[in-house]
Amino acid sequence: MQKPIYLDNNATTKLDPRVFEKMRPYFEEEFGNPASQSHCYGWEAELAVKKSRQEVAKLLNANPKHIFWTSGATESNNIAILGLIKQLVYSKKMKPHIITSAIEHKAVLDVVKYCENLGAEVSVAPVNEYGQVEISTLNKLKKENTAFVSIMAANNEIGTCNNIMAIGNWCQVNSIIFHTDAAQATGKIRLNVETMNIDLLSLSGHKMYGPKGVGALFVNLENPNVKLSPLMFGGGQEGGLRPGTLNVPGIVGLGEASRIALLHFDEENEKNCTLRDHLIKEVLDNIPQAKLNGHPTERLSNNANFSFKDLSADLFALGLNGLAVSSGSACSSNSASASYVLKAIGVDDCLAKSSIRIGLGRFTKKEDIDFCCSKIKGLFKS
């Protein structure tokens, strides 16, 4: 059976063949444990991990010593948020105030909610009609005990990008620790942890043509206020912050994916922007019932999210046969309720349930987009 055209790259990306080839030796002959320091197998593994740490650091303009390996952005978010709040509550005996946004991934919202059990105070910032957090909103929510802000770099459903530079500057001026979930943004927008004043940043390999099950957390160790309590114990790996035997093949894959993303950053984003804009124009010009969700220009190069008036979800399944697209976040696509992200930007329940997310990628071709456009147009033919 022929598989549908894959246009769900915000959920996960295909492993780049170059990444797979880079990983292959570390499944076979270079299988050592980097913690084994008495023989060449361990030395080779340790060297590979070091090189990969450097590649991820280059992509973020970070110090390699500030990159910590995890299993993905969800774990990175947990370590960053819970680790910091535990440190503030237990060590400094304070009630820290956290600000996050209404359209964060559940890997942030659920963690922040749990922090209330640890004694933290939480404010959830509303977003504007495009899904962006405005500085004026942060100013209204700020309190004397505001210690931590977690705002995503780009939204996984509607593709809107936040002004991370402005938010980072605001946090620095107010002596607030700033974390960003950059799982969707890494490799698609320029991230510079130094100029953007980012203290903590989470990313995942499988969102950028790397393997699943590996990610990284950037920790600004130069900020004396950024101290994280580990969530797990039982080893000294990653400075004791994330114990456990390192996933060397996965780490090598993430390093290579980072190298490729930086090497081809401009050309890949230009290609995706061209295809994305063609898709958006075709849909909006030909379908009066269509509405683009998210910011019209300040959005990921590979994302388009549409709502369609007077179109049932059942018709989607029939009419979009041959396309692998998403009705929302991959982590909540099995939910029957309307997307909380779309509701947060003012889309009503009925319209939110007739929405699709189209995620372009490195391997998407123009004919794929043309086929997608024809399928969507076909839904509205009388």
Contact by Cβ (8 Å): 242, 70? yes
Catalytic residue, candidates 40, 171, 273, 331: 331
How far is Cα 356 from Cα 365, in angstroms, rounded to an integer? Answer: 19
User: Is 275 strand, coil or helix?
Assistant: helix
| Percent of the chain as helix, strand, coil, to the nearest 5 | 40, 15, 45
| Closest of 219, 218, 204 to residue 251, by C-alpha | 204
Q: In what order do the strands lie in the sheet with 290-293?
A: 290-293, 303-308, 355-359
Tell me if residue 331 is catalytic: yes
Contacts of 24 (CB under 8 A, 6+ apart): none
| Closest of 59, 49, 36 to residue 251, by C-alpha | 49
Contacts of 302 (CB under 8 A, 6+ apart): 9, 10, 159, 188, 272, 276, 359, 360, 361, 364
How far is Cα 51 from Cα 252, in angstroms, rounded to an integer? Answer: 8
Tokens at residue 21, please? 């080839």
How far is Cα 150 from Cα 162, in angstroms, rounded to an integer? Answer: 12
* Measured CA distances, 27 to 46, 207, 217, 346 (Å): 15, 22, 24, 48
Residue 264: CB atoms within 10 A of its CB come to: 13
How far is Cα 329 from Cα 335, in angstroms, rounded to an integer? Answer: 10
Print burial letters for 198-224: b (CB count within 10 Å at least 16), e (below 16): bbbbbbbbbbbbbbbbbbbbbbbeeee
Residue 142: CB atoms within 10 A of its CB come to: 16
| Closest of 1, 3, 6, 2 to residue 326, by C-alpha | 6
Cite the active site residues. 331
